[in-house]
Amino acid sequence: MDNCCKIGIFGSNKCGKSAFYIQFVQHVFVENYDPTIESDFRKQIEVDGKVFLLEIYDIKEDELKALKENVIKISQGFFLLYSITDSKSLCECEEIFDEIKKNIGNEKQPPIILIGCKSDNEEERKVSFENGKKVAEKLNLSNFFESSSKMRKNIDEPWMEMVRLIYKNNGKKNEKESKSCKLM
Ligand SMILES: Nc1nc2c(ncn2[C@@H]2O[C@H](COP(=O)(O)OP(=O)(O)OP(=O)(O)O)[C@@H](O)[C@H]2O)c(=O)[nH]1
Ligand SMILES: [Mg+2]
């Protein structure tokens, strides 16, 4: 498949990673918490009249280092997720960003989009929109959204943008794309 987009989703435990891609892929909100053990999702989507096969790798903050590094190496774009109800989860995005930078070395920074999850939960908000935006600007990320998987708000937009960015970067067959779409 030419238009294969490998996307790594990183973020602290319970920040809303599964809900974010399950809402995008399956149009349902997972209310009950079920910690992800390991996840590798595939979904075919159409963007701007082109068909893309998304490969989604869901990586918890405390994941094994080797698996994390492998996903960083093979991903063509990254979502860094935090929960607006948990300030620490935003700090962890900065740590993940450092790990990505360390692993890609001198290569051009790939598309990285920061997502503040659970934006519907104003009552428990700890991180302001401005704070999230500031971090995204500081790290020179591709974009920043606050999203709600519960309300299905700002779910499709970041995914569409991610696919477009990856396509722009890797429109022509490159080394990563010509490799098999398998994780390992
Ligand atoms: N209010 C609200 N709750 C959410 C939202 N997204 C996720 N949650 C809740 O937050 C909890 C954790 O969500 P998950 O998507 O399982 O989080 P995760 O990051 O995949 O968790 P791990 O797999 O353990 O790392 C669940 O109880 C979800 O229902 C959201 O947009 N709004
Ligand atoms: Mg999960």
How many angstroms is it from 63 CA to the middle of ligand 2?
A: 12
Chain centroid to Cα 183, Å, comes to 16
Count the neighbouring beta carbons within 10 Å of the beta carbon of residue 75.
28
6 CB near ligand 1 (under 6 Å): no
Quick check: CB of 17 below 6 Å from ligand 1?
yes
Tens digit of each residue's pLDDT (9 = 90 or more) over 124-150: 999 999 999 999 999 999 999 999 999
pLDDT of residue 184: 37
Residue 23 pLDDT > 70: yes
Given CA atoms 4, 59, 117, 25 in this order, what sign does their dihedral have? Answer: positive
Which residue owns the Cα nearest ligand 1 atom 29? 31
Interval between CA 106 and ligand 2 midpoint (Å): 31
- Would the pLDDT of 172 be above 50? no
Q: Whose CA is nearest to atom 4 of ligand 1?
A: 118
Domains and CATH numbers, the chain: 9-172 (3.40.50.300)
Q: Which of 20, 11, 29 is nearest to 71 (CA)?
A: 11
- The percent of residues above 70 in pLDDT, for the chain, comes to 89
Cβ(169) to ligand 1 under 6 A? no
Residue 68 and residue 145: Cα distance in Å, rounded? 24
CA 158 to ligand 1 centroid distance, Å:
18
pLDDT tier for residue 95 given thresholds of 50, 70 and 90: very high
**Looking at residue 122, what is its pLDDT?**
98
Characterise 27 by phi-psi region: left (phi > 0), alpha (psi -120 to 50), beta (else): left
CA neighbor of 141 nearest in space, from 119, 162, 118: 162
Which residues partner with 154 through β-bridges?
A: none
For residue 148, how many C-alpha atoms fall within 13 Å in the half-sphere facing its CB?
Answer: 10
pLDDT at 71: 92
Distance 15 CA to ligand 1 centre (A): 6
